[in-house]
Amino acid sequence: MRGDLGDRLGRPLKDLRISVTDRCNFRCRYCMPREVFGKDFPFLERGGIMSFEEIDRFAGIFIDLGVEKIRLTGGEPLLRKNLPDLISMLSMRGVEIAMTTNGVLLPRYAPALSAAGLDRVTVSLDAIDESTFASITDSGHTVASVMAGIEAAESVGLGPIKINTVVKKNSNEDEILDLVERFSNRDIAIRFIEYMDVGTTNGWSMEEVVTAEEIRSIIGVDEQITPDKKSDVAKRYRLSKGGEVGVISSVTEPFCGDCTRARLSADGRLFTCLFSSRGVDLLTMMRAGSTDKELAKAIETTWSNREDRYSEIRSEQVNTPNRIEMSYIGG
C-alpha cells in the first residue's frame, strides 16, 4: 500500500533519484573539474556501492512510501556494468524509470536499455560548437558522439527525450539560440539550467550565473505553458516559430516549496536536498540486517523532519561547508 509521506513544509515524497556510480567519463568544469577529480581522487570502492539487489530493495521501500518515479543518475550511469539488468528489475515495480546521461555510450546501450524497460532519457549537452563543448567537458569526446547517442535513444523509443544545458556566463551563453534551433522543433524538450553552487569544488560565483530572465530574453520566449505537475522544476515556454523550451531557475527563481525529490547516493546514503552536506546511511543499516519495515521507518523519520530550502535562503548560506558534490549525489 503506497503512503503519502510529507515533510515539515507539507511536501510529499514522490520522486527518487538513485546514483549508481560516482564515476564519469567527462570532466565538466561545473561538476567534476579535472584538477580535483584526477587519477588520484578517492572514488568509491566497488564493495562500498549498492548492488543491484540492494537498489531494487530500496526502490520497493520508497515506492511503498509514495514514490512514483525513479531516475538513475551518476556520475555517468552507463559506466555501471550491466545496467540493463538493474533496469529490468526496477521495471517490474510499476513506476516510471528514467535516466540522465551524457549520451556518448547510448549508441552501444540504448537497445538493451529499452528492451529492459527504461522509459526515457535526459541527455546533458552544454554546447553544439565542438570547441566550446571540448572546453566545458574536458573529456576527449565530441558533440557528434552525443548527437549519435540522442539518435540512438530516439530510434528505440526512449522518449520524449530531454536535453539539459547548464548555462554559465562567458562559457556557453552564445550557444543558447543554436541549441534552440537544433532541438525545439523535434520531439525533444531542451531545458536551460542556471549554473548552481552544488558542492564546493566548481568555484561557483553569482557573477557567473546567466539568470533565467536573461535566458528568456536571449530566446525571446512568448507564453508560459501551464505545468503538468506542481512539482515540475522547469518553467516551459512556447516559441513563436513552434516548439517549446524550458528554464530551470534554481538560483534566481527557486522552487524549493514544490520539491518532492529524495536522492540516494551510490553508497546508499539518503539526501533530502541537492545542496545537502550530509546524508543518512541506509546501506549500512540494510547490510547489518535491518528489515524493510525498519528501513522504511528511517526514511519516514528523515523525510518527515525535512525542512530544506537552500535555494530560497542561499544568500544566508554562502559559507555552508562540505556540500555534497553533484557527481556523488546525482543532479
Q: Which residue has the higher pLDDT, 251 or 267?
A: 267
pLDDT tens by residue, 35-52: 999 999 999 999 999 999
Backbone angles phi, psi at 262, to 5 degrees: -115, 155
pLDDT digits (tens, 9 = 90+) for 71-93: 999 999 999 999 999 999 999 99
Query: Looking at the DSSP assignment, which residues form a beta bridge with residue 16?
Result: 70, 262
- Residue 130 buriedness (CB in 10 A; 0-12 / 13-18 / 19+): exposed
Lowest mean pLDDT among 140-149, 191-200, 264-273: 191-200
Do 179 and 146 meet the contact criterion of CB atoms below 8 Å apart?
no
Q: pLDDT by residue (tens digit) across 143-165?
A: 999 999 999 999 999 989 999 99
6 and 272 in contact (C-beta within 8 Å)?
no
Q: Report pLDDT for 239.
A: 86
pLDDT at 206: 87
- All cell numbers assigned to 184: 525545439
* CB-based contacts of 289, cutoff 8 Å, min separation 6: none
What is each CA distance from 184 to 49, 124, 181, 187, 269, in whole angstroms? 38, 16, 6, 8, 37
How far is Cα 280 from Cα 273, in angstroms, rounded to an integer?
A: 12
> At residue 58, does pLDDT exceed 60?
yes
Query: Does the residue 276 lie in any domain?
Result: yes
Q: d(Cα 96, Cα 120) in Å, to the nearest integer?
A: 9
Is 6 within the bounds of a domain? no
**Residue 321 in this model has a pLDDT that exceeds 60:** no
- Per cent of the chain over pLDDT 70 is 93
pTM for this predicted structure: 0.92
DSSP letters of 111-164? Answer: HHHHHHT--EEEEE---SSHHHHHHHH-SS--HHHHHHHHHHHHHTT--SEEEE
User: What pLDDT is stored for residue 316 in this prediction?
Assistant: 58
- pLDDT of the residue at 196: 85
314 domain residue, yes or no: yes
Does the residue 2 lie in any domain? no
Domain annotation covers residue 31: yes
| 1 band by pLDDT with thresholds 50, 70 and 90 | very low
- 306: in domain: yes
CATH label of the domain that carries residue 176: 3.20.20.70
- pLDDT band, residue 216 (cuts 50/70/90): very high
- Domain of residue 176, residue span: 15-329
What pLDDT is stored for residue 231 in this prediction? 61
CB burial readout 197-223, b (16+ within 10 A) else e: bbbebbebeeebbbbbebbbebbebee
Closest CA relative to residue 128, chosen from 76, 160, 162, 165: 165
Asked if the structure places residue 4 within a domain, the reply is no
- Least confident interval from 1-10, 22-31, 121-130, 217-226: 1-10
- Percent of the chain at pLDDT above 90? 69
Give the pLDDT confidence of 16-34 residue by residue, as tens digits: 999 999 999 999 988 898 9
Compare 266 and 241 and report the one with higher pLDDT: 266
Alpha carbons 331 and 165: distance in angstroms, whole number? 12
User: How many domains is the chain built from?
Assistant: 1
